[in-house]
Amino acid sequence: AQSVTQLGSHVSVSEGALVLLRCNYSSSVPPYLFWYVQYPNQGLQLLLKYTSAATLVKGINGFEAEFKKSETSFHLTKPSAHMSDAAEYFCAVSSYNQGGKLIFGQGTELSVKP
């Protein structure tokens, strides 16, 4: 069975500080991993995806994530937080069952302080 765990339901950083959102996965097969962002009253927007081509993946809005198989992790980072980054972030893995459904973590709400 596949699963995703996001450590920390709330993360608060100051503007200009490093953003680190943690995601660990469990999968008995090679995983395909995604990070999505959700702004209030909106749907989920794809930030980036890992599909085995490169372990360091760059996404939109200056975010990137590194796939570490030995640590079963796919943490999301951004060097310098901006006020507009305040949102909820979801890590997800593609399932080999049920039409390739996404299995989501519980989400991490990012707050950015001025």
Partner 1 sequence: DAGITQSPRHKVTETGTPVTLRCHQTENHRYMYWYRQDPGHGLRLIHYSYGVKDTDKGEVSDGYSVSRSKTEDFLLTLESATSSQTSVYFCAISEHRVGQDLRQPQHFGDGTRLSIL
Least spacing, CB of residue 6 vs partner 1, in Å: 8
Question: Please, which residue, 53 or 114, has the CB nearer to partner 1?
Answer: 53
Q: Which residues contact 48 (CB under 8 A, 6 or more apart)?
A: 34, 35, 57, 58, 59, 60, 63, 64, 65, 76
Question: Please, which residue, 81 or 105, has the CB nearer to partner 1?
Answer: 105
DSSP string, 52-64: SS-SEEE-GGG-E
Question: Please, which residue, 22 or 49, has the CB nearer to partner 1?
Answer: 49
Query: Which residues contribute to the site for partner 1 (CB under 8 A)?
Result: 32, 34, 36, 41-46, 49, 51, 90, 94-96, 98-102, 104-107
